[in-house]
């Protein structure tokens, strides 16, 4: 199974982080100000097929392609959404996990700094590690900002940024004791 997971990671390596504009340019590179200020206006969740075609998507898009690839290989996964709420800042991340032989794995592609397949003895250890890394990578957010972690099922295709957040809030809130 881990050989299959490695193959999925290799397939994901053709995907660039970002979102393409109407001209096929990755907005994060061509117009970073628009990316920062208007993401919520132009973004929609791509289907796995659209992401394969565009080869450019944010973690939300990438996790849905990963979900599809794992499912096609009969590997059960869980997907999570983490975010920090700090006034007008709202950094977020989605990620995928799976279990094999009593061990838990964090499959990470879009968060380049942590790209890889990370192994843990317990799911709690996995989630705590992601939380710690997420907080540490967002030092611009107040230390006491509220952190939320949800386990979520596949959302509808083409939903907007706002609708994605609304959907997430209908999913399973995870309580982690730090």
pLDDT in tens, 31-88: 888 888 888 888 999 999 999 999 999 999 999 999 999 999 999 999 999 998 877 6
pTM: 0.92
In angstroms, the CA 100 to CA 116 distance is: 16
pLDDT on residue 90: 78
In angstroms, the CA 139 to CA 133 distance is: 11
Is there a contact between 101 and 121 (Cβ–Cβ < 8 Å)? no
Report domain extents, the chain. 2-173
In angstroms, the CA 95 to CA 79 distance is: 6
Confidence check: pLDDT of 89 > 90: no
In angstroms, the CA 7 to CA 15 distance is: 14
pLDDT on residue 87: 72
Is there a contact between 126 and 97 (Cβ–Cβ < 8 Å)? yes
pLDDT in tens, 100-113: 999 999 999 999 99
Is there a contact between 160 and 137 (Cβ–Cβ < 8 Å)? no
The residue with greater pLDDT, 91 or 115, is 115
In angstroms, the CA 150 to CA 163 distance is: 15
């Amino acid at each position: 199974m881990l050989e299959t997971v490695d193959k999925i990671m290799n397939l994901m390596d053709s995907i660039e982080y970002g979102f393409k504009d109407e001209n096929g340019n990755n907005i994060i590179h061509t117009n970073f100000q628009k990316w920062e200020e208007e993401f919520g206006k132009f973004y929609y969740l791509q289907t796995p097929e659209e992401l394969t075609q565009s080869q450019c998507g944010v973690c939300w898009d990438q996790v849905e392609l990963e979900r599809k690839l794992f499912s096609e290989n009969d590997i059960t996964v869980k997907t999570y959404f983490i975010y920090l709420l700090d006034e007008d800042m709202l950094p977020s991340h989605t990620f995928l996990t799976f279990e094999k032989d009593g061990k838990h794995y964090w499959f990470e592609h879009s968060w380049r700094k942590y790209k890889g397949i990370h192994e843990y003895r317990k799911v709690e250890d996995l989630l705590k590690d992601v939380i710690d890394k997420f907080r540490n990578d967002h030092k611009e957010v107040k230390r006491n900002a509220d952190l939320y972690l949800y386990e979520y099922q596949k959302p509808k295709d083409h939903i907007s940024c706002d609708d994605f957040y609304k959907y997430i809030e209908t999913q399973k809130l995870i309580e982690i004791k730090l």
